[in-house]
Chains A and B, each alone.
Chain A
Amino acid sequence: MKKSKGMGGLKPSLTYISRYRLLIAGTLLLAVIGTASMLWVPIIIGDTIDLLIGEGSVALSAVLTELCKAAVIFCIGGIAMWGMSLINNRITYQVVRDIRRDAFEKIQHLPISYLDSHPHGDIVSRIIADVDQFSEGLLMGFTQLFTGVLTILATLVFMFVIHPLIAAVVVVLTPLSLFIANFIAGKTYRFFRDQSTIRGEQTDYINEMVENIKTVKAFSNEEKVIGKFKEINGRLQISSLKAIFFSSLTNPTTRFVNSVVYAAVAGFGAIAVIGGGLTAGGLSVFLSYANQYTKPFNEISGVLAEFQNALACAERIFEFLAAEQEQPDPADAGVLREVSGRLSVENVSFSYSPDRRLLENFSLEVASGQKIAIVGPTGCGKTTFINLLMRFYDVNGGAILIDGRDIRSITRQSLRLSYGMVLQETWLKQGTIRENLKLGRPDATDADMIEAAKKTYCHGFISRLEKGYDTVISESGGNLSNGQKQLLCIARAMISDPHFLIVDKATA
Chain B
Amino acid sequence: MKKLLKYMRGYRRECILGPLLKLAEASLELIVPYVIMNIINIGILNGDKAYIIGRMLLLVGMGLAGLLFSVAAQYFSARAAVGFSSKVRAALFAHIMHLGYPEIDRMGKSTFITRLTSDLNQVQAGVNLTLRLFLRSPFIVFGAMICAFTIDLQAALVFVVAIPVLAAVVFAIMLSTIPLYKKVQQKLDRILSKTRENLSGVRMLRALCKESEEIDDFAEKNQDLSRAQRFVGKLSALMNPLAYVLINAAIIVLIYVGALKVQHGVLTQAAVIALYNYMSQILVELIKLANLIITITKAVACGNRVEAVLESDASLLPSRLPPEIKGTHTVELRRVSFRYEGGGDNALTDISLTADDGETVGIIGGTGSGKTTLINLICRFYEATEGEVLIDGRPVASYDFAELRGKIGIVPQGAALFGGTVRSNLLFGREDATDDEIWEALERAQAADFVREKPGMLDFEIEQGGKNLSGGQRQRLTVARALIRNPGILILDDSSSALDYATDLALRRAVRQLPGRPVIFIVSQRASSLRGSDRIVVLDEGRAVGIGTHEQLYESCVVYREICDSQSRIR
Contact = CB atoms under 8 A, between A and B. Distances in A.
Interface of A: 38, 41, 45, 48-49, 51-58, 60, 63-64, 67, 70-71, 74-75, 77-79, 81-82, 85-86, 89-90, 92-94, 96-97, 100-101, 104-105, 107-109, 112, 115, 120, 123-124, 127-128, 203-204, 206-222, 224-226, 229-230, 233-234, 236-237, 240-241, 244-245, 248-249, 251-253, 255-256, 258-260, 262-264, 266-268, 270-271, 273-274, 280, 283-284, 287-288, 291, 377-379, 390, 392, 412-413, 416-417, 419, 421, 423, 427, 429-430, 439-440, 461, 475, 481-484, 496, 508
A416 B206 contact: yes
A256 B64 contact: yes
Nearest to A419: B207
Nearest to B232: A89
Given A264-B56, A288-B276, A427-B200, 7 more contacts: A115-B199, A211-B416, A280-B269, A280-B273, A390-B203, A416-B208, A475-B197
Contacts of A291: 280
B188 A128 contact: yes
Contacts of B337: none
A33 to B, nearest CB: 12
A247 to B, nearest CB: 9
B320 interface: no
B40 A256 contact: no
- In the A-B complex, the 3 residue pairs with the smallest Cβ-Cβ separation, listed nearest first, are A483-B367, A267-B56, A259-B63
Interface string B547-562: 0000000000000000
Contact of B116 (A79, A206, A208): A206
A508 B270 CA distance: 87
B496 to A, nearest CB: 12
B104 A416 contact: no
A220 B276 contact: no
Interface of B: 25, 32, 35-36, 39-40, 43-44, 47, 49, 52-53, 55-57, 59-60, 62-64, 66-67, 70-71, 74-75, 77-79, 81-83, 86, 89-90, 93-94, 96-99, 101, 104, 109, 112-113, 116-117, 124, 128, 132, 188, 191-204, 206-212, 214-215, 218-219, 222-223, 225-226, 229-230, 233-234, 237-238, 240-242, 244-245, 248-249, 251-252, 255-256, 258-260, 262-265, 268-270, 272-273, 276-277, 280, 366-368, 379, 381, 401-402, 405-406, 408, 410, 412, 416, 418-419, 428-429, 431, 464-465, 470-472, 481, 485, 497-498, 500
Contacts of A413: 209
A229 B208 CA distance: 46
A410 B188 CA distance: 38
A255 B70 contact: yes
Contacts of A255: 63, 66-67, 70
Contacts of A45: 251, 255, 276
B259 A52 contact: yes
A49 B62 contact: no
Contact of A75 (B101, B245, B270, B368): B245
A82 B78 contact: no
B262 A216 contact: no
B405 A210 contact: no
A101 B44 contact: no
Chain B CB count within 10 A is highest, among A53, A108, A216, A482, for A108
Contacts of A58: 259, 262-263
Given A63-B259, A81-B244, A100-B222, A440 B104 contact: no
B104 A63 contact: no
A287 B59 contact: no
A416 B209 contact: yes
A245 B74 contact: yes
Given A212-B418, A213-B109, A244 B128 contact: yes
Contacts of B481: 219
B96 A210 contact: yes
A165 to B, nearest CB: 15
Contacts of B406: 220
18 contacts: A45-B255, A97-B226, A109-B211, A204-B419, A210-B96, A210-B113, A233-B86, A237-B82, A237-B83, A245-B75, A245-B78, A248-B77, A256-B63, A262-B63, A263-B60, A266-B56, A416-B209, A483-B367
Contacts of A392: 203, 206
Contacts of A124: 192, 195-196, 199
Nearest to A273: B44
